[in-house]
Every structure is written in structure tokens, then in C-alpha cells.
Structure 1
């Protein structure tokens, strides 16, 4: 998601948890600086909603519904003075007190998802490094417009889903395009096509016409 820096004095993480400036716009904390999150597009919101539903069902099917749930735009602390707002995250009930108190997870989420917008470098470079360092086991980048650099999604550019899996402290990536089934180490039994994710971003009447 594209970020808009907010010109304020640097603040600490504890102050961020209680910060209110009178607006309803979500804000990330990046190295002590508040950054406004622009409103997501219609397609962005539909894909996020679809993924929440899919992951919640996968959690039930795997028998972990007593342990995990899926939330949209739940905070994830990634550094001493940095906190991100992943578009989708699996949240353990064992850490739900963090979310209830401040809407920010202190421990690594089992899985986070970012849906790419114009500023794709944030998702493929900066957040990737933060999530890897933090130790998040699985990180999905849903690039439904094919905006990422060719080093990440190949040539010619096309919609793609990159799944980064933590192996011995380092991310290993698998790339999935339309017509391919997504493979998740956390949900190996779950069958989900990349095309189903991309199609979720279309209003229902457009899907019926296609």
C-alpha cells in the first residue's frame, strides 16, 4: 500500500499506541514518524475481504480455529519505533490481548499479507526485510495489477502472488500467476488458485460478464 508521510515530530512506540489526531485515517509508525495510509481502492478492499474469508476457512479446516483468527489491518510491530498495518494477518488468540489493548501485535504473526499499490517497493523491499528480520513465518505479496519490478514478478509483467516462507531465518520465495495453484507451507492442504484471488477484486457483476 502506498504511504503518505505525515509531518510531525518523531514519537516513541508507546506514544503511537495512544496517539489520536482527530482523523480516522490509519497511520503506520516508521522509524518514529507517523505515516498516513491512503484509502484503499475498491479492488484492494474486495481482495482483502476475500483473503480473510479464505484464511478463516483454512484455519477451521486445519483444526486451528481455537488458536488463530484472521484480521484485516491489524498492527504488527516490526522494530523499536516501527509498526506496520498489514492488509491481512493471521492473529493467534494467545496474543489477542495485544490487539484488544492497542490493535498492534508485539509477537510475529504466523502469516501477513500485503496487497500491492503504486508504491510497490515498500512491499517487495522494505516490509519484506522487516518481516524477515522479525521472523514472520509466511509473507504473501498480492500484486493483482502486476506493478512489481521484473526481478520480482518476471517479464512480461503480469498479476502475481509471491509467497515468502521463512527457512532457517531467511525467506524463500515461490511465485504464482493466473492458472496456477497457490502453495502455502502453513496450509498445505488448502487449494486456492491465484486467479481466484485476482478475480475477487472485480465487482460481482463484472465477474458474471467475464
Structure 2
């Protein structure tokens, strides 16, 4: 794992964080102006995040077609989401569904509809406590936590802001042994994802 080797004595600015080499920054987040390394992410972890991002993208495209692009949506993986600038805090969700942005505009919390973290041994507490609080404080409407095994995603916990304010309220958990549907929700729009969509190995 790439680690930023500078020892910080004081917080840095958002602009200074963006000046860090992009390859190095892939493994970093910014919390209250302090650069912190991200947790280790194995192959299966990243595969599940990618599969879910692709499934969300498929559903977003279907929604745009249905509405005649009344709203435009995009998905991303492991991209900086600026939560707030003072003190600067940016997290990198494993997957994110957000409104479309101009090419060079910074992705921020106000654009995000769903942020997803895939749980691992190293990230469980960070994702359930610190990131959950940060995403809620930033006003991101939906937060999903995904557990996985060697097959693929095995459980998805869904949280949402009630009344547009935090903290998050748990609104449902699905397990792979409950049926074929991993997710079937109506907010932020109709989304249906199957467990088979989230398997690590591709269909042959």
C-alpha cells in the first residue's frame, strides 16, 4: 500500500491535498486536513465494488432513458468525494452514484445520492463508525455497507437520512440466502440488483 511519507505537524488545505501525486493519492483520504492511508483492499473486495458500480450504472442508464434524461446520473469507484472544505475532508467510497458533473468539476457530497463501502477486516470499524458519521454529516442521502466472501457480495445493509438530516437510520438488510434480489428500492429511483450481478467471477 502506498503511504504518503510526509509527517504532518498541521492540517493542509484541499488544494495542497490535490497537489499530491495522483498515483499516491489513490491510497489516501483527507480527514480534517490530515492525510490518512486507506485500508488494504484485496482483489475480491475490489471486484465486488466494481460489480456493484456497474449494476448501479445499468440502473441509472435505465432511469435516464425512462425519464428522457430529466436527471443525469453517473457512477464511480474510489474517487475523491469532497465532504466539506473547512477543515477539508474527502473520502473515497468504494462505489458512488451521483449526479452528472462537468468534466473538471470536483465531485462533492451535494452531488452524491448513494455512497457504498465494501467491508473488510481492516475497514469494518472505519466504515461503520467514522465514514458513516462523515457521510451523514455531509448530507449524503443513502449509505450502503456490503459484506462479501469468495463468491461475491453476501449481505447489503442500507442506511438513509430521515428528513434530510443525520444520523443515518437503518432501513434494511438483505442476505444472499433470502432470495435472488440483493437490492430492490424505489429511492433515489427504482433500483434492482441481483446477487448474481455481484459475484466475483464473471459468468461463462
What TM-score does the superposition give when structure 2 sets the normalisation length?
0.76
Pairing partner for 1:129 from 106, 129, 133: 133
Secondary structure of the residue that 1:191 maps to in structure 2? strand
Check conservation: 1:25, 1:36, Cα contact below 8 A: no
Matches within 5 A, 1:152-171: 159-168=154-163, 169-170=165-166, 171=168
Residue of structure 2 equivalent to 1:44: 45
Aligned counterparts of 2:162 and 2:82: Cα–Cα separation in 1: 21
Residue of structure 2 equivalent to 1:152: none
Q: Which runs of 5+ in 2 are unaligned?
A: none
Residues 1:38 and 1:130: Cα distance change in structure 2 (over 3 Å): closer
Pairing partner for 1:105 from 108, 118, 122: 108
Offset of residue 112 of structure 1: 0.9
Q: Which runs of 5+ in 1 are unaligned?
A: 146-157
Offset of residue 61 of structure 1: 1.2
Offset of residue 39 of structure 1: 5.0
Aligned counterparts of 1:68 and 1:177: Cα–Cα separation in 2: 27
Q: CA RMSD in A?
A: 3.0
Residue of structure 2 equivalent to 1:190: 191
Offset of residue 40 of structure 1: 2.2
Secondary structure of the residue that 2:36 maps to in structure 1? strand
Aligned counterparts of 1:109 and 1:3: Cα–Cα separation in 2: 27
Check conservation: 1:160, 1:176, Cα contact below 8 A: yes
Check conservation: 2:61, 2:73, Cα contact below 8 A: no
Offset of residue 69 of structure 1: 0.9
Residue of structure 1 equivalent to 2:92: 85
